[in-house]
Amino acid sequence: MSSSVSIETKIAGAVLPSCLYNASGPLCSTEDELHALGKSAAGAILSKSATREKRQGNEEPRYVETPWGSINSMGLPNEGYEYYAAFAEQAAAAYDKPYIMSVSGLSHEDNIHMIKALSGNKNVTAIELNLSCPNVPGKPQTGYDPEQTRYILDKVFEVAEHPVGVKLPPYFDIPHFEAMAEILNAFPLSFVTCINSVGNGLVIDPDRESVVIKPKSGFGGIGGDFVKPTALANVRKFYTLLDEQIAVIGCGGVKSGMDAFEHILCGASAVQVGTQYMREGTNCFARIGRELEEIMSRKGYKDIGSFKGRLKDL
Ligand code: SIN
């Protein structure tokens, strides 16, 4: 590691000592898991997407590893938003890094209620509003509905006191990127996180001739290696389409320093780790950070601003 290289970044006005932190998903649901993130080299602590009430989530098995990544249909198991709001005080007392709360209401009203209730909680650095969970049966992904997205953001910014960002589903068509960017640019968003899992994939076991997860007849969100090109495309497109003050946070297929480097080259200001964090635990943040620093050092980049977004066309 070279001490002359910095992987520090800034999101929502707050300094993150490392641009790498956890995706809201695996291993960020309990106080123990959140403390483990606090003690690790992760640049921020991001909580599991919270609903208004505690939820058990979907039936098991609901998370399966494959050689190229993972499929999950967790269904937002979480302790309820008050639990994560209360953890903010512990996080502020113990750790010198931002604490970001992910919020994923089962209705617009729930989102507004939670965001309003968090007002005044000075220990929450920012809110990541999850508009893209594919795993709650009967609930569509709001991020795929431009008018619903505009509606909820209108309501959120009437009540939000914290910096707010949104976690988006992956988009696959240029007009869809453009339509979403136009809506997102109309609001004082601090960041967008690209991408949530690629929703409603299907992994099967040909020996058992069956699906591998129980909920939704086996349909679930795909993460890991296979989603990296889609994640990079989403980071890149939103980096070029969004106003400068909206930071893009990359998420998808990050298991090495080079993966993180590629996300930043596409325009990411910070990079989240999901499937690999689930596999490796909190050590992944120090290891990926070291690998990223080595790459930067070799290429002569002193900080992430030196190459962020500088992807070249041919
Ligand atoms: C889940 O709990 O189902 C995963 C969260 C998400 O995909 O947003």
Which residue has a Cα nearest atom 6 of ligand 1? 133
**Which has the closest alpha carbon to 295: 256, 248, 247?**
256
Ligand 1 neighbours, Cβ below 6 Å, are: 25, 49, 74-76, 130, 132-135, 196-197, 221
pLDDT given at position 3: 60
Which ligand 1 atom is nearest residue 134's CA?
7
101 Cα–ligand 1 center, Å: 14
Record the pTM.
Answer: 0.98
Instruction: Write out the chain's pLDDT in tens, 314 residues.
Output: 546 999 999 999 999 999 999 999 999 999 999 999 999 999 999 999 999 999 999 999 999 999 999 999 999 999 999 999 999 999 999 999 999 999 999 999 999 999 999 999 999 999 999 999 999 999 999 999 999 999 999 999 999 999 999 999 999 999 999 999 999 999 999 999 999 999 999 999 999 999 999 999 999 999 999 999 999 999 999 999 999 999 999 999 999 999 999 999 999 999 999 999 999 999 999 999 999 999 999 999 999 999 999 999 99
Which residue has a Cα nearest atom 7 of ligand 1? 133
Residue of 33, 166, 196 with the most ligand 1 atoms within 8 Å of its CB, for mutation: 196
**Which has the closest alpha carbon to 191: 142, 277, 125?**
125
Rg (CA), the chain: 18
Place of tokens 């290429």: 299
* CATH architecture for residues 9-58+77-198+224-306: Alpha-Beta Barrel (3.20)
28 belongs to the catalytic site: no
pLDDT given at position 284: 98
